[in-house]
Chains A and B, each alone.
Chain A
């Protein structure tokens, strides 16, 4: 059964720092990996989706990488801002099902002004 782990569970950084969030998964036969952001009491906002054939995706100050063979993905946030404070979740879809996301438990990020 696919398991997705995110470390650390919580992270606090001063404004302006570059930071990396980590995601690991046990079954490398994934179809794609998606990073989400969740604000308190809200739903999930899709940030980046990396297909299994890709190594990375970029959107603005965000860069997500994928290493299928080692079962790892990272989300890099450049020049962090207080508005980046949220919980970040990664999720994978296994090849074959092409539908069901398996989520990590998230990293709660606080960017201090």
Chain B
């Protein structure tokens, strides 16, 4: 079974702090993703990475950065946390679309980190 592990289920930080959210997958997936989920807004893509040291902006990258130094680990960084970044953060991984059965691969998600910024 695919395992995507997020380091914290719940996290409380203060405004202005630098916050790191960590995600590790054990299936040697090339693609990794960070989403946030908010009531009424659904899931929105923040950043994704299709290879080590590669990253691309999603729909809402402002206020965030990412790091992919190793294939299995994808970190989301809140440079200076603000209250509007209070949310549920979900990490996902997948094989690239060009491999596997017809090139379509599902995304597998972690259990999420519920982050509160005070």
Which of A's residues lie within 8 Å of B, judged by CB?
31-32, 34, 36, 41-46, 49, 51, 53, 89, 91, 93, 98-101, 103-106
Contact = CB atoms under 8 A, between A and B. Distances in A.
Contacts, number: 60
Give me the 6 closest cross-chain CB pairs, A-B, nearest first.
A98-B97, A43-B109, A44-B109, A103-B43, A32-B104, A43-B111
Interface of B: 4, 6, 31, 33, 40, 42-45, 48, 50, 56, 58, 90, 92, 96-98, 102-112, 114
Contacts of A99: 31, 33, 48, 50, 56, 97
Nearest to B30: A99
B90 A44 contact: yes
A51 B102 contact: yes
Given A53-B102, A99-B50, A100-B58, A46 B111 contact: no
Chain A interface main SS type: strand
Nearest to A47: B106
Candidate in B40, B42, B44, B48 with the most chain A CB atoms within 10 angstroms? B42
A20 to B, nearest CB: 21
Contacts of B102: 51, 53
Given A43-B110, A44-B92, A99-B31, 20 more contacts: A32-B104, A43-B4, A43-B6, A43-B112, A44-B109, A46-B106, A46-B108, A49-B104, A49-B105, A51-B102, A51-B104, A98-B97, A98-B103, A99-B48, A99-B97, A100-B45, A100-B48, A101-B33, A103-B43, A105-B40
